[in-house]
Structure 1
Amino acid sequence: MKHPISVLLIILLSSSLLIADESQFMKDLVKAFPDMVQFQKYANDYCSLTPYFRCDYERNKIRSIHFYHVESLSGKLPDSISTLDSLETLTIISCPVEMELDFVNSLENLKEITLENVKIKGPVPRFNKNTKLRYLSISHNNLEGRVPTFSENTELEYIDVSSNKLEGYIPTFFYNTALISVNFSNNLFVDNMPNFERNTQLVKLDLSNNRLEGYIPSFNKTTQLKHLDLSNNSFIGNIPTLTNNLALRNLCLSSNNFEGYMPLFDKHIELMHINLSNNSFTGNMPSLSGNVKLIKIDFSNNKLYGFMPLFDKHIELKYLHLSNNSFVGNIPNFVKNIKLSVLDLSNNYLEGHTPSFSRNTQLEHLDLSGNSFIGRVPSLNSNTILKNLDLSNNKYSGHIPRFDNNVMLSALDLSDNKLIGNIPSFDKNTELKYIYLSNNKLSGKVPSFGKNMELIKIDLSNNILDGDSPNFGKHTQLTYLNLLNNSIAGEVLIYNRNVELIKLNKYLEPILKNVNSPVKKEILNNVLGYSYSKLLSTLFPEDELVEGKKESFIPPYMRNS
């Protein structure tokens, strides 16, 4: 054997070079992140840092890096990471580390890149040298500019660039036939969406919350598709046929400019969530009797008309939103929908008596406002976890029932009906924050609301209430009080620095203490009937009454369930 010493030197030199990159990287880590004491302790034994590194132990080469929610990882990622030529997996999630993505092209063995919610800025680089890349997630960062094509990444299965500031066109994935999941949501992408006909293995596609427009292409060949979300864009026209996408479970096309009739979904037996809200669909609501696995249906804010269908086969149904359409007739019985949590049928042309909800013990949000329901306010004693109830703008009559069993009730709106009698006590409803009973024929004294210390807004205006006003001096959360057009007399004590608007009668003396309030001068002069200077004299000397805008008291709680 020739030159045995030379051969031995070459072997030894090669062996030392194998770990030289890792050693330098660890030295740089110690300098970059001095608060990471583990790096200092295991700088020469980095393969023992199993939460963070996984190694090829025979060669002492780092194969994967994992940092999850490490607050001490604050600073710039060392450039020497680009020398880890055996690195296959790089995962950094929710760490305050700063980096640029140019280094990834030096790591040709990378198969998985997850850099989510870290401090990455600048453009998305080409990953043309990462030909083994299968998984790429760079979501929730500050990336800008256009997204390159991924034509060299033919093994790519998963890509997520959501929640950045990316713009331009969404690239085509003509050569990425292995793709399973694509998420480009919450960016600034424009123009038409690409065609995914060649991506026959696609299971999830999310392009929501962008600026895409035009018509939606066909999905006839993506037969494995289970999740499709194109919401909050500007797509137009009809929804293309989805008859070949029978694996669909989640379909969200809300907040676009779709029109025409809704397609039939009777063969999509796996469908669990469907949201076509905020479009211009017209016609009758399609029958969903075959979609027995449905959990959520949202067809609100369209132009649908006719009678509501039955939902007696949907025993899994939890969320039903059909508001702001033109449905007519009586509403169906929901006795079979025992899991129902949210029911919003507001702003239609529904009428008749309200059915019983005694079987819907999971009901939390009920909104039947803006219809023509008659009879008494339904008893909801069985709905013990009810939080929000809106029956306003109907034709309910009779007395207001007590809500003693609804101990979690947070918002109650019975305004604009024909209710009579006294306002009941709400002593059991200690979570109550909003109460609206205006525009009825309620009489008697205003209850004390002594146990409702969380109240934020009260509107009892336009009734025939009388007697002395209750003392609101302990309601420190109260920001809105409207007692206009009643016969209530006496002093009204408000003790809240954040009070925004009060409307009283000329019989009431406003006593505002500790107020730092954007109450309008014009409102005080014209509505209260008191001069601005007289009101100021009731304030503590150090307080000021400042200008501000009138805040709407339409309850927000039922608008975005």
Structure 2
Amino acid sequence: MSYVNLSTAVDWIHEINMLPNLEELYLSESELRNTVLPLRQFNLTKLKVLDISRNNFNTTFAPNWFWNASSLTYLDIKICYFYGAIPDEVGKMTSLQQLSFQNNLISTMIPSSFKNLCNLKVLDLANSNTTGDITELMERLPNCGWKKLQMLDLTFNNIGGELPNRPGPLSNLTYLVLTRNKLTGKIPAWIWALKKLLILELSANNINGIVKEDHLNNLTNLKFLGLGYTLLQMKIRRDWTPPFKLLGILLPSLQLGPAFPSWLKSQTSIEFLHISNASITAIPDWFWVVFSRAEFLNLADNQISGALPATMEFMAAYFMILSNNRLNGTVPKFPRNITYIDISGNSLSGTLPSDFGAPRLDTLILYNNSISGTIPSSFCSLTNLLALDLSENMLTGEVPNCQEDMNLVKVNLNTNNLSGEFPSVFGSFPNIVFVDLSYNQFHGNLPVWIWEKMPFLAFFSLRSNMFHGPIPSEIAISKELQYLDLACNNLSGSLPNSLSNLSAMIRTSGYSELLEDNNLHRLSYHLFNSLYDHFGTREQVSVSTKGQQLEFSDQLSYTVLLDLSCNSLTGVIPQDIGALVGLKAFNLSWNRLSGQIPVNIGQLKKLESLDLSHNKLSGEIPPSMTALTFLSSLNLSYNDLSGKIPTGNQFETFNASVYIGNVGLCGPPLTGSCPGNSSSQDTHGNHRGLEDISLYLAMNIGFVLNLWVVFCVMLFKKRWRIAYFMFVDDLYDKIYVTVAVRCAIFKRKLGQT
């Protein structure tokens, strides 16, 4: 009954308990929400297989009914959101052969009763927040005479310490995955002696040492090798031929270069190759032939030079990442099966191919190259394309107007020389979320249909183009827009009052799930029905805020920005602007705005950057602005503001440059005092000074008088004088005896230790 919606089944466990002959129960991803304590009478005595994975139970591991199912051979409770310690009752399930706790929240060490599970072959604790020392964990695994354990997955946990020098129960392993833990020390010899091993994944730990061909010679059955993101060094002879035929290899961030590892020349069966950031400077000619059948290739962040081969179109790759290298030449025709290709951050030149030759392509990333010419009409044939990034190139001409149905969600064309009116082709992208056309030469009015035909638009930047005319009031239609940058155009007219109705900028969470999903490209590779390499790539997006150009990636989905600076806007700032409580950056500088700063601007409590400089704003700075406690960047310079500058909170941190060019402003941090306050301030200061002098004088006189009273009494009253000295002597004796006794006790304790 897996994948059947059983969310309304409240008493499902008791119903199933009425089936005593039931042997297998599959309820994976069935929308179950509740489980129960141990049943009064457990009837499922023949149950062998139980799969309740991918249901949101959100409760503790114990007590729970299934711990009484001692007949089980297979138990899968992954992604059930159980939490807490695994109960000792698991040790009574001695028939278990496969056990999965993946993606739950154990937060502790496995119980010692695991030793009783002598038939256990597969143990999956991946991403379960299992904590503790690796040696202790191995001591708690079943260590029976026949050592049946074959697969152990401890990926994404908090397991530390050094791997022990003896294999214990792991001598028959075929699958050992310890990725992303806190392991230290060297790889022990027994791991290199696991002749049955198919998969060895130790990536993303702090293990160190040198790996040589002698270590790998015994692993004759090895299919997958992962040693990346560690402190290991690989020193393999160039003429060594491995005894295995790998399907996957993961060696990122190991210093393998400058030459590409020649021992990989014999690995013609490789499907997955990840050797990024390895200081490799050149790819040999045989690379493109040997790995022509590879489905996943990642050589990013090296210093690889040379041109891409014309034969690249005949490769079998689905994923290809060659970003941040020194590749030159033209962009070749892509592999026919490619779905994701990233060759950004290189020195590619020439024009884009007239035929991309990749009908399945969904992500094309070529930013930061030197590609010239126009965007070819063949772009329209990429009907599966979801993300396109051609930014930071030298493209010219207009964006082609495609007639084909396309489903783009992200388009980044910034920093080119593209021209024409706002591309009408965007009206054919109803699901688009991210549009960046900044730093080009687009012109004309902003079409009203932008907000109607792109209802999911969350990021929209037209900075530094030549658009003119008013900002359409229909902008309020947009429900997801939380990043709007129309700066440095020639827009005119008044600010539309509808700006205060932008729903996404009113959200207090300040978070866009749409931007998060579309800025993170999740790539993964499956081998033997398991996930062996899962990582995300985030593109950097240039954001102008706080008076500087910043690069955002992870934070983009939390960036709420409204920038209309460097235009010819007139009129007043809408009084309801305070409704945009999610705003973090607000810039209206270098316009012709007049009137006063709205009093309710103090409601923008999350504001971090505010720039209203170079306008004609008048009146006082609203005192409500002192409530902007997150404000770290403020610029009100070159307006006609007047009155006293508010004080308190963030305003105490701003210097005079924030207010320069406003001749009517006064008060700190400006040097001049406010008119009409100087005399009163002086008088107040004088009074305060006199009060201070009087206070100190009275204190001194009082002290002297009291001292003389005591002295006179002691001088003329002999009995009082004798009593005083006796009290002082007695107090001295008590203190002396106490200190002496304490010292003697302390010395005695030191002597005993």
Q: Pick the TM interval, shorter chain.
A: 0.7 to 0.9
More strand by share: 1
Q: Residues 348 and 532 from structure 1, CA distance in 2 versus in 1: closer, same or farther, beyond 3 angstroms?
A: farther
Task: Write the mapping of 1:506-545 to structure 2, written as runs, cut at 5 A.
Answer: 506-509=639-642, 512=646, 515-516=649-650, 519-521=653-655, 523-524=657-658, 526=660, 533-534=668-669
1:382 matched to 2:457? The reply is: no
Q: Which residue does 1:416 correspond to in 2?
A: 488
Which deviations, in whole Å up to 9, do the C-alpha atoms of 1:381-416 show, x marking residues without a partner?
A: 211110011111111111111312211101111111
> What amino acid sits opposite 1:291 in the alignment?
A
Q: Number of aligned pairs?
A: 499
Secondary structure of the residue that 1:420 maps to in structure 2? strand
The higher relative CO (CA closer than 8 Å, separation ≥ 6) is in: 1
Partner of 1:51: 99
What whole-Å deviation, never above 9, does each CA across 1:438-472 have from its counterpart, x for those lacking one? 11111111123132111111111111111111121
Residue pairs, 1:111-510, within 5 angstroms: 111-125=174-188, 127-149=191-213, 150-167=216-233, 174-187=241-254, 189-195=256-262, 196-217=264-285, 218-240=287-309, 242-243=311-312, 245-265=314-334, 268-310=335-377, 311-356=379-424, 357-379=426-448, 380=450, 381-402=452-473, 403-424=475-496, 425-432=498-505, 433-448=560-575, 449-471=577-599, 472-493=601-622, 494=625, 495-504=627-636, 505-509=638-642
The 3 A distance-change label for structure 1 pair 51 and 233 is: same
Residues 137, 171 of structure 1: alpha-carbon distance in 2 compared, 3 angstrom cutoff:
farther
Please state which structure has a larger fraction of its residues in helix: 2
Tell me, in whole angstroms, the C-alpha distance in 2 between the residues paired with 1:521 and 1:332: 50
Contact 1:426 1:451 in 2 (8 A): no
Find the residue that maps to 1:404 and give its secondary structure. helix
Q: Name the stretch that deviates more: 358-367 or 377-386.
A: 377-386
Structure 2, gaps ≥5 residues long: 1-83, 102-114, 506-559, 675-753
Alpha-carbon RMSD across the aligned residues, in angstroms, is 3.2
Q: 1:364 to 1:141 in 2, by over 3 A?
A: same
Code of the aligned partner of 1:286? P
TM-superposition CA deviations, 1:350-407 (whole Å, max 9, x none): 1111222222111111111111111112331211110011111111111111312211
Distance 2:468 2:237 in 1: 59
Q: Which amino acid counterpart does residue 238 of structure 1 have in structure 2?
A: A
CA distance in 2, matches of 1:331, 1:104: 64
User: Compared with structure 1, are the counterparts of its residues 414 and 352 closer, same or farther at alpha carbon in structure 2 (3 Å cutoff)?
Assistant: same
Normalising by structure 2, what TM-score? Answer: 0.61
Over the matched positions of the two proteins, sequence identity in percent amounts to 24
What is the CA distance between 1:163 and its match in structure 2?
Answer: 3.5
Moved more, 124-133 or 451-460: 124-133
1:526 is displaced (CA, Å) by: 4.2
Unaligned runs of 5+ in 1: 1-34, 539-561
SS in 2 for 1:292: coil
Select between 438-447 and 183-192 the one with higher mean Cα deviation: 183-192
* Contact 2:273–2:296 (CA under 8 A) maintained in structure 1: yes
Say whether the 8 Å CA contact 2:608–2:632 is kept in structure 1: yes
Using structure 1 for the length normalisation, give the TM-score: 0.80
Q: Which has the larger radius of gyration?
A: 2
- Which residue is 1:557 aligned to? none
Call closer, same or farther: CA 1:430–1:61 in 2, change over 3 Å.
Answer: closer
- Residue 237 of structure 1 deviates from its aligned partner by 2.0
**Amino acid aligned to 1:322:** L
CA distance in 1, matches of 2:398, 2:142: 67
Instruction: Kindly provide the amino acid, as one letter, of the partner of residue 151 in structure 1.
Output: N
1:3 corresponds to: none
Letter in 2 for 1:515: N
Residue number in structure 1 paired with 2:149 = 87
Structure 1 residues 243 and 524 mapped into 2: Cα distance closer, same or farther (>3 Å)? Answer: closer
Partner amino acid, structure 2, of 1:405: I
**Distance verdict in 2 for CA 1:336–1:123, change over 3 Å:** farther
CA distance in 1, matches of 2:442, 2:171: 67
Q: Is the 8 A contact 1:132 1:155 kept in 2?
A: yes
Distance 1:423 1:178, change over 3 A: same
- Name the aligned partner's letter for residue 51 of structure 1: L
3-state DSSP of counterpart to 1:280:
coil
Distance in 2 (alpha carbons) for counterparts of 1:390 and 1:171 = 53
CA distance in 1, matches of 2:440, 2:582: 30
CA contact (8 A) 1:205 1:228 kept: yes
